[in-house]
Amino acid sequence: MRRTVFLAAASLVCALGVSAQQHNIDTQKSTLTIHVGKTGVFSGLGHEHEVRAPILSGMADTGSHPAVEMHVDARALRVIGKDDSEKDRAEVQKTMLGPEVLDSARHQEIVFKSTGAEPAGQGRWTLRGNLTLRGQTRPVTVQVTLKDGRYTGETTVKQTDFGIKPPGKAGIRAKDEVRIEFDVRLAS
């Protein structure tokens, strides 16, 4: 009798293991990129900024109920804009991580957790979820595509929705809306 119960339990665990399709995110090959535009009377004189960080941790369930959770260390974000001088990048970096914008000393983690997913065509989904940035959580919608083993996607958010006043100087400042992209590979 004990052997039968054990075999039944073992079979159930194996069956659940086979149907579960949870994968860790390959943090060595996955990144988050933020595109920050510019606005204002003198915006032609300024630079748009590209900011990138590796994805610190996360998981994706690719089974019948797709879900994803990603964590990024806000302190690891780096300005990589090609048009900026090293001095300008360092200044933008300091402002971005400082108390006026991300306040990364106090709010060290950026988190996205999906709450729902809908198919949007072959290899495409619309994910709804919550983005936590600078200690504030807001709902976002993310368009996701799977191609060549990579999940890519993007969303647009307003900095002011997360308590951030877009930084800048008289006549030129960062746009309120920023585009967030991700490129995720799953661990084998």
Give the integer Cα–Cα distance in Å for 73 and 3: 48
The helix/strand/coil state of 185 is strand
The helix/strand/coil state of 188 is coil
DSSP state of 62: -
60, amino acid identity: A
Q: Is the pLDDT of residue 13 over 50?
A: no
Query: What mean pLDDT is predicted for residues 14-22?
Result: 51
Q: Is the pLDDT of residue 154 over 50?
A: yes
What tens digit of pLDDT does each residue of 158-178 get?
Answer: 999 999 988 876 666 788 999
What tens digit of pLDDT does each residue of 88-132 get?
Answer: 888 888 988 999 899 999 999 999 999 999 999 999 999 999 999
Structure confidence at residue 91 (pLDDT): 87
Give the integer Cα–Cα distance in Å for 8 and 54: 43
Structure confidence at residue 14 (pLDDT): 37
Structure confidence at residue 20 (pLDDT): 54
Q: Classify burial at 23, counting beta carbons within 10 Å of its beta carbon; exposed 0-12, middle 13-18, buried 19 or more.
A: middle
CA-CA-CA-CA dihedral for 89, 105, 40, 132, to nearest 10: 120
